[in-house]
């Protein structure tokens, strides 16, 4: 853990922890126009990824899953979300720059996000927790 914390001489932000809660999606494209897909989602951030369970035959899958990852540079990294269907390809894409979390109230976004590649949206909560060295002189607070 000490290797991830920036030294006092560094001007960069201390390492952060990103927590993501993936609730559900809606209005996903139907297969062949009439059949609901069997979707799953993948969250990717740098070398870390998380795949949800597959929810069978629905255009409004409920995942209720969470994932977390250590972040080295929250001002320049992005969370990538991809919703795919078993045998149907990509149903939804979302790229969330973590810099948006840095300027959000409580370092948190909790809302619907529209997919960038067509119909559908995703309800998710993304929150940053800044990790601070015990010797930095900065007091750590937790907000939930």
Query: For each of the chain's 144 residues, which pLDDT tens digit applies?
Result: 323 333 344 444 447 899 999 999 999 998 887 899 999 999 998 788 999 999 999 999 999 999 999 888 888 999 999 999 988 889 999 999 999 999 999 999 999 999 999 899 999 999 999 876 666 555 555 555
pLDDT of residue 88: 85
CA nearest neighbour of 12 among 130, 112, 116: 130
pLDDT of residue 143: 55
For 123, residues 6+ apart whose C-beta sits below 8 A from its C-beta are 23, 24, 25, 26, 111, 112, 113
123 vs 106: CA distance, rounded Å:
18
CATH number of 15-130: 2.60.40.150
Please give the angle made by the CA atoms of 98, 10 and 15, to the nearest 5 degrees. 35
Q: Can you give the residue ranges of every domain in the chain? A: 15-130
83 vs 63: CA distance, rounded Å:
11
Tokens 């998380």 belong to residue:
50
| pTM for the model | 0.80
pLDDT of residue 66: 95
Spatial strand order of the sheet with 48-51 comes to: 48-51, 39-45, 78-85, 89-97
């Amino acid at each position: 853990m000490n290797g991830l914390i920036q030294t006092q001489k560094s001007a960069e932000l201390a390492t952060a922890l990103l927590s993501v809660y993936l609730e559900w999606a809606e209005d996903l494209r139907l297969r062949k126009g009439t059949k609901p897909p069997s979707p799953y989602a993948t969250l990717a951030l740098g070398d870390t990824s998380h795949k949800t369970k597959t929810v069978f035959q629905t255009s409004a899958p409920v995942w209720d899953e969470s994932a977390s990852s250590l972040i080295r540079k929250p001002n320049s990294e992005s969370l990538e979300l991809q919703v795919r269907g078993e045998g149907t390809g990509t149903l939804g894409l979302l790229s969330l720059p973590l810099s948006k979390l840095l300027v959000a109230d409580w370092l948190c976004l909790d809302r619907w996000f529209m997919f960038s590649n067509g119909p559908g949206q995703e309800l998710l909560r993304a929150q940053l927790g800044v990790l601070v060295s015990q010797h930095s002189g900065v007091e750590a607070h937790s907000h939930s």
